[in-house]
């Protein structure tokens, strides 16, 4: 797909570890990274290409393991999702959501 140059440049900044075309293929994943790592200017640019409903859909089903608690709270408040739901957790095979720590810095059981 042909993406506008400014959107490709944004994807390269936000998902620096892969090619922009690959990053932009998966809208919710791209927007999850943008909503976590993007600057206000990055968001303003993305809003030219994505509707508010795209950002809300990202909050409904974010790519797992990307949002930090601050970004999660900020974006949920922006869309009047109060109280803010719990931060989504990445659940590994053999775990239940209740077993996953609230922070990345708590070691998992072995």
Q: What is the DSSP letter of 25?
A: H
- Does residue 28 lie in a domain region? yes
- Does residue 54 lie in a domain region? yes
Number of structural domains, the chain? 1
Angle between helix 52-60 and 27-37 (nearest 10):
90
pLDDT in tens, the chain (110 residues): 789 999 999 999 999 999 999 999 999 999 999 999 999 999 999 999 999 999 999 999 988 889 999 999 999 999 999 999 988 777 778 777 666 665 554 444 44
Q: Which helix or strand (DSSP H or E) is residue 31 part of?
A: helix 27-37
- Does residue 60 lie in a domain region? yes
In terms of Cα–Cα distance, which of 48, 14, 66 is closest to 58? 66
- Does residue 41 lie in a domain region? yes
Global confidence as pTM: 0.82
- Does residue 105 lie in a domain region? no
Range(s) of the domain holding residue 16:
5-99
- Give the pLDDT confidence score for residue 55 in this predicted structure: 97
């Amino acid at each position: 797909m042909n993406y506008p140059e400014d959107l490709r440049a944004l994807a390269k900044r936000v998902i620096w570890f892969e090619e922009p075309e690959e990053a932009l293929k998966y809208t919710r994943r791209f927007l999850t990274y943008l909503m976590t790592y993007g600057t206000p200017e990055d968001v303003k640019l993305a809003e030219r290409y994505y509707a508010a409903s795209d950002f809300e859909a990202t909050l409904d089903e974010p790519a797992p393991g990307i949002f930090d608690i601050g970004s999660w709270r900020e974006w949920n408040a922006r869309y009047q999702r109060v109280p803010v739901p719990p931060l989504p957790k990445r659940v590994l095979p053999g775990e239940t959501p209740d077993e996953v720590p609230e922070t990345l810095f708590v070691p998992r059981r072995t």
